Amino acid sequence: MEKQEIIEILSEWNYWDRELPFTVKRDSYDEKISKYIDKDEVLVIKGVRRCGKSTLLISQIARLHTNGVARNQILFVNLEDPRFINHLTVNLLQDIKDAYLEYLNPKDKPYIFLDEVQTVANWEKWVNKEVELKQSYITITGSNSSLLSSEIASVLTGRYISIDIYPLSFSEFLRFKGISVNSKMDLVSKRIELNREFDIYLKYGGFPRMVDYLDDEKRELLSTYKNSILLKDIVARFRLKNFPILNDITAFLVANTGIIQSISKLKNNFSISHSMAHDYVDYLKKAYLIFEVNKFDYSLKKQRVNEKKYYSIDLGLSNLMRVPNREFRGADLETIVFLELLRRGYCVYYYKTSNDLEIDFIVEQENRIVQLIQVSKTLKDEKTYRRELAPFEKTKRELHLEDVESLVISEDSSRVLENEIKLLNIKEWCLLP
């Protein structure tokens, strides 16, 4: 591409001579990114498509402006711009930088943001060169978890820092709507409003743009998201030909979030080979559509062979793929808790006791189990109450656990149950951690 053509494209995406758009702050991510943005490692920001990665970059550009970094010292490149589509080789990245340096002539080391970098073949070689020679501060985003597997891990040999981005938490969802909750009193005084918004969040999920759309438009937007993820991040990347099977497996695992499943069961359910079932699940994980949770065992070998539990990245996508008139609220509450545990940086497992009692989550922090969590819609029914509490003591005995908190999260009011087991209302748990 000619330099003038490149700079014309770049000028439309950058803010060298115009004001940045307003963005709602996502404090936890903003703080993490700002901590590492000017280090001599590649900053990798990854997550499902449309979860807000690009907007977080704009927030960082605004912060750099505020801190005195010259506008021409910052370069933002959207590598999914269709005008780049026939030039997506590693040479394009150098051509882009050369055009930027010639036209903008920054005086200091530039900050370069490469959005959706996985679209460029061999991108890691150019990024590695920039970092090794300390020519630029590099931040990259991607919608495929291969950014942390064979490509970046082997080529950059540890010279990167990774931050996972998720769709909006319930707390962020409220902030995007201008609703603040700072105390238990707010939970009481805003109870009706919070109940209404929580139901909306359960139904349509946490993709940031959902907040700005009317209810009758949200399903259409979610459908475009689903198709974009499947087609761009899976079909195109892995050159798949059997889209109907991929679509069916996606619908099954995303709709039935929180399900325990094995590759053998998927193979039989969809009448496909074991290798195809394994590969398609792997593709869905790499595109961040689903998360795979191991059954806890002190033996890593047993963890690998036991059945897995699968969670959807977003309840809006789950509801898009579900059959009507079925009740999923318990599974949806469990999914909200699971995603929030990931956001808080915990490692998560499920567990089944020797007599087949299930603990929804074993929560690990810094190689130490710190919590056992059950999630239930309500404990008002005595049978449900006993079923949810029964696994705690059995799990502690089998795993030899001491000083581990036992917690039930539900839509009931918070209180202390028997045997020092705590019950926390899910909205309180989400909003006042």
CA distances from 86 to 79, 81, 89, 92, 299 (A): 11, 11, 9, 10, 49
Give the helix/strand (H/E) hosting 408: strand 405-410
Rounded-to-integer distance, Cα 135 and Cα 40, Å: 9
CB under 8 Å to 54, separation ≥6 — which residues? Answer: 78, 115, 141
Rg (CA), the chain: 23
pLDDT of residue 433: 81
The class level of CATH for 3-164 reads alpha beta
CB under 8 Å to 159, separation ≥6 — which residues? Answer: 40, 41, 42, 128, 131, 132
Q: Are 320 and 219 in contact (CB under 8 A)?
A: yes
Domain spans in the chain, listed from the N-terminal domain onward: 3-164, 170-431
CB under 8 Å to 106, separation ≥6 — which residues? Answer: 70, 72, 73
Residue for token digits 């439309």? 12
pLDDT of residue 125: 87
CA distances from 274 to 146, 258, 345, 377, 400 (A): 22, 22, 33, 35, 36
Rounded-to-integer distance, Cα 110 and Cα 73, Å: 5
Phi and psi of 408, rounded to 5°? -110, 130
pLDDT of residue 278: 96
Residue from 279, 299, 289, 188 nearest 239 by CA: 279
pLDDT of residue 157: 63
Q: Classify residue 301 by burial, with Cβ atoms within 10 Å: 0-12, 13-18, 19+.
A: exposed
Cβ–Cβ contacts within 10 Å for residue 361, how many?
24
Per-residue pLDDT of the chain (433 residues; tens, 9 = 90+): 999 999 999 999 999 999 999 999 999 999 999 999 999 899 999 999 999 999 999 999 999 999 999 999 999 999 999 999 999 999 999 999 999 999 999 999 999 999 998 889 888 889 989 998 999 999 999 887 656 454 566 666 668 898 999 999 999 999 999 999 999 999 999 999 999 999 999 999 999 999 999 988 999 999 999 999 999 999 988 999 899 999 999 999 999 999 999 999 999 999 999 999 999 999 999 999 999 999 999 999 999 999 999 999 999 999 999 988 789 999 999 999 999 999 999 999 999 999 999 999 999 999 999 999 999 999 999 999 999 999 999 999 999 999 999 999 999 999 999 999 999 999 999 999 8
Strand duo 405-410 + 368-375: pairing: parallel
**Which sign, positive or negative, has the C-alpha torsion 330, 332, 335, 340?**
negative
pLDDT of residue 326: 85
Rounded-to-integer distance, Cα 121 and Cα 91, Å: 10
Give the helix/strand (H/E) hosting 269: helix 263-270
Q: Classify residue 402 by burial, with Cβ atoms within 10 Å: 0-12, 13-18, 19+.
A: exposed
CB under 8 Å to 193, separation ≥6 — which residues? Answer: 179
List strands edge to edge, sheet with 308-312: 259-261, 308-312, 290-293
Residue from 425, 352, 427, 426 nearest 390 by CA: 352
Phi and psi of 371, rounded to 5°? -150, 150
Q: Classify residue 358 by burial, with Cβ atoms within 10 Å: 0-12, 13-18, 19+.
A: middle
Rounded-to-integer distance, Cα 403 and Cα 296, Å: 18
Give the helix/strand (H/E) hosting 76: strand 74-78
Tokens of 302: 């047993």
Instruction: Give the CA-trace dihedral at 146, 148, 154, 156, to 10 degrees.
Output: 120
At residue 317, the 3 state secondary structure works out as helix
Give the helix/strand (H/E) hosting 163: strand 160-164
Residue for token digits 């006042």? 432
Rounded-to-integer distance, Cα 148 and Cα 46, Å: 9
